[in-house]
Amino acid sequence: MIAPSSVSVSDQSSDIYRQIENADLSATIRDVPLAGLGFGQPFYQPYTLPDISFFEFYRYIPHNSMLWIWIQTGLFGFASLFFVVGRSLALGARKLRELTSASDCTVVVTGALFVMMYIVFAYVDIAWDARGTVFLAFAFAICANFPVQVPSAPVPAGAEVSPREMVAQ
């Protein structure tokens, strides 16, 4: 925050809510670090949160979606998520070294940046909705499986080309 004194009251209360919620999430993780609580279980609330009961899932879905994964799946689920994220970024970086087309590089960089952006966003807000995770899956796929086109040698005029060679090209 650049100018904390210029923040509105509603922004300040939202920030306080998230700080209390993060303290509750940390307490939950300390109590069940390895196994997690499992999906459908509310996180512990040793610190009383302000009433936002108009959102019926406020006890189940916190703003910090990354810690939510830990709470639901435990340490191994959380580590698995970070393995998938790290692996997709590593594969995207490898693809960038292999690609020769600027437009292909742009697509892979965009996919990798989306993965990084989504994970940062997931630390501060509710992120695991259907639309966002579909885009995240596309970004993972772009980083991991973007096709690298190897330039083929030109075929001399009048030369016979087998169907197998045509498919390889």
The tens digit of pLDDT for each residue in 46-99 reads 999 888 888 899 899 999 999 999 999 999 999 999 999 999 999 999 999 989
pLDDT band for 167, please (50, 70, 90 cuts).
Answer: very low
Give the per-residue pLDDT at 7: 77
Q: How far apart are CA 108 and CA 117, in angstroms?
A: 14
Q: Are 93 and 125 in contact (CB under 8 A)?
A: no
Query: Residue 10 is which amino acid?
Result: S
Q: Does residue 137 have a pLDDT over 80?
A: yes
Average pLDDT over residues 121-150: 92
